[in-house]
């Protein structure tokens, strides 16, 4: 009974931090945060489920490409409150400052929005919207060699995969700062147990993506893998390790790269 209660608390903590989904309130203790990262990918599962249901509704009701794309892009933002995009924007500001490491870390903490954050966010949303519109148009014209639902299923599972990889980075990569939210989570995490659980979830998700649509699944996994390698090298070189903002940056970049990889494959195979 005590273990079930601990699991429930970890679930609530994860969804309270990484989503805007209403959760029961209680005073968090260090033990309550110890395994919360195990449930981080399940926020992605909720996003993926909502996105798949929206795509299914669009296909069934023939709601049109515009509704599918723009409301589809809004789903992750509404569920997370833009949590990871905030890290994406802060990181873009820091990277484009071309300052030294310490200054870049200060920019990450700055609550103000810089010009490069806005520019990069606009580019991000345009690339995501363009990629989704290509997938939607190819599917509606019957040019895809796979069922549209399977392709969308792979893309939706990407929300789970990106968060599993981000959680793995938190418990394996060096932190850039001794203080901060990410360092607090890392210090309180039962790292070995969390890592094993996240790895199992990542492997099962990857297997599910390949089973659902082998070509698209492999394309998405390649995109996620390349994003992770870039994240690892960039964070070490530019910041001396990872921060919460950088982890959010990775989630955003990985999801976009997976989407674009699947889109490119669809265009090639159409």
pLDDT at res. 218 = 97
pLDDT at res. 140 = 56
Residues 101, 45: Cα–Cα separation, whole Å: 35
pLDDT 10s digits, 55-83: 888 888 878 888 999 999 999 999 999 99
What's the pTM value of the predicted model, to 2 decimals?
Answer: 0.93
Task: Provide the residue count of the chain.
Answer: 270
pLDDT 10s digits, 134-193: 888 875 555 444 467 888 999 999 999 999 999 999 999 988 776 655 655 655 557 888
DSSP E strand stretches across the chain: none
The C-alpha angle 233, 197, 17, rounded to 5 degrees, equals: 75
Q: Which residue has the higher pLDDT, 31 or 23?
A: 23
pLDDT at res. 139 = 58
Q: What are phi and psi of 36, to 5 degrees?
A: -65, -30
């Amino acid at each position: 009974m005590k273990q079930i209660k601990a699991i429930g608390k970890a679930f609530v903590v994860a969804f309270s931090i990484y989503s805007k989904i209403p959760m029961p309130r209680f005073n968090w203790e260090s033990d309550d945060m110890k395994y919360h990262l195990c449930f981080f990918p399940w926020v992605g599962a909720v996003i993926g489920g909502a996105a798949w249901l929206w795509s299914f509704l669009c296909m069934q009701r023939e709601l049109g490409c515009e509704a599918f794309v723009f409301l589809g892009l809004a789903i992750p933002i509404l569920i997370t409150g833009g949590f990871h995009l905030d890290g994406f924007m802060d990181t873009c500001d820091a990277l484009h400052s071309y300052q030294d490491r310490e200054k870049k870390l200060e920019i990450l903490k700055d609550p103000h929005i810089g010009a490069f954050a806005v520019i990069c966010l606009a580019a991000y949303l345009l690339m995501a919207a363009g990629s989704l519109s290509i997938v939607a148009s190819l599917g509606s014209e019957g040019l895809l060699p796979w069922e549209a639902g399977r392709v969308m299923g792979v893309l939706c599972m990407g929300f789970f995969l990106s968060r599993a990889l981000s959680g793995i980075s938190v418990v394996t990569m060096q932190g850039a700062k001794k203080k901060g939210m990410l360092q607090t989570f890392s210090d309180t995490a039962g790292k070995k147990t969390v890592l094993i659980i996240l790895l199992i979830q990542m492997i099962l998700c990857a297997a599910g993506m390949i089973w659902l649509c082998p070509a698209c699944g492999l394309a998405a996994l390649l995109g996620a893998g390349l994003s992770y390698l870039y994240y690892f090298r960039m964070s070490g070189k530019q910041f001396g390790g990872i921060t919460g903002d950088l982890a959010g940056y990775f989630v955003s970049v990985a999801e976009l790269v997976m989407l674009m990889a699947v889109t490119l494959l669809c265009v090639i195979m159409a």
